[in-house]
Amino acid sequence: MARRKSRAVRGPYLHHVELLADRIPADRFPFNLPAIRSLKRLEFHPGVTFFVGENGSGKSTLLEALAVGSDLNAEGGSIHFRFATRASHSDLDRALRLAKSIFSPPDSYFLRSESFYNVATEIENLDRTGTGPRIIDSYGGVSLHDRSHGEAFLAYFQHRFGSNGLYFFDEPEAALSPRRLTQVLRVIHDAVERGGQFVIATHSPILLCYPHCRIYEFTPTGIHPRTLRELAHFQITQQWMLSPEDAFRELLSAPPSTLLSDSPAEIDEVSPNRADSDSDS
């Protein structure tokens, strides 16, 4: 019996991005963010690229701009989605130059936790007014509004996910338990093996443990490549898992005024522990 030929892998689909300095209004969001303002050229890993940083550092804003620059809807979904419940995305995509493959990805998707239910509503609207096959059938046939947040996310990975394509994920861990997150990590790995490419903004140390990746940390001094063990995300989680009692005592010893800061810069100025920088991420 003749062996079947495997489908040709045409990725990676995204090579690098550059910020066009002549299009930057420096006093306006998001160009006033240090990480965005200092961006010159960012190289993408052929498999997985992670964006890491504190809240408000600009990682999700850049991810959104990359998705929009790749012809995806700002609120999420595939290239066929063109809706807006609120025009809140920035115009950063207009100031970016994306170096793409000559091949178009067979599938692409922008999955973002904060607006996934907006995607669910749009699916219902399109199915109600359309004449073709029901879109919801490609998500398992059950309304995403009739599922929990986590179940709705899993429906995407179980039924809609195409594997060999270009995918932008914004904090997928927000909807998933640690166990489910490890399962998604395996799905991502299998997709990379088939030629899929991912850009993921995350706070999750579990996702960041994926070895075949490039990690960029968004800080007040710019966007910097990091290894897994250089990240405060990893170090803090490791500290709490190894010695929760000591970690809690240390938390209580800190002045209350330093626990929550209005400025992500004040948090990011803490230098990562370089002693644990032997990760091959």
Which CATH number characterizes residue 168's domain?
Answer: 3.40.50.300
pLDDT confidence tier of residue 6, bands split at 50, 70 and 90:
very low
192 within some domain: yes
126 within some domain: no
36 within some domain: yes
For tokens 């998707």, name the residue.
Answer: 109
CA pair distance 105, 13, nearest whole angstrom: 7
pLDDT in tens, 172-222: 998 899 999 999 999 999 999 999 999 999 999 999 999 999 999 999 999
Q: How many domains does the chain have?
A: 1
177 within some domain: yes
* Cβ–Cβ under 8 Å, residues 66 and 59: no
pLDDT in tens, 101-153: 999 999 998 988 777 778 788 888 888 887 678 878 888 888 888 888 888 88
Query: Peptide bond before 30: cis, by omega within 30 degrees of 0?
Result: yes
pLDDT confidence tier of residue 9, bands split at 50, 70 and 90:
low
Mention every residue, 6+ apart, whose C-beta is less than 8 A from residue 196: 11, 47, 163, 164, 165, 166, 167, 188
- pTM value is 0.84
* Cβ–Cβ under 8 Å, residues 114 and 170: yes
238 within some domain: yes
221 within some domain: yes
* Cβ–Cβ under 8 Å, residues 40 and 18: yes
The pair phi, psi for residue 243, each rounded to 5°, is -150, 75
18 within some domain: yes
142 within some domain: no
* Cβ–Cβ under 8 Å, residues 235 and 247: no
Q: Which range marks the domain in which residue 44 is found?
A: 14-116+158-276
CA pair distance 76, 115, nearest whole angstrom: 7
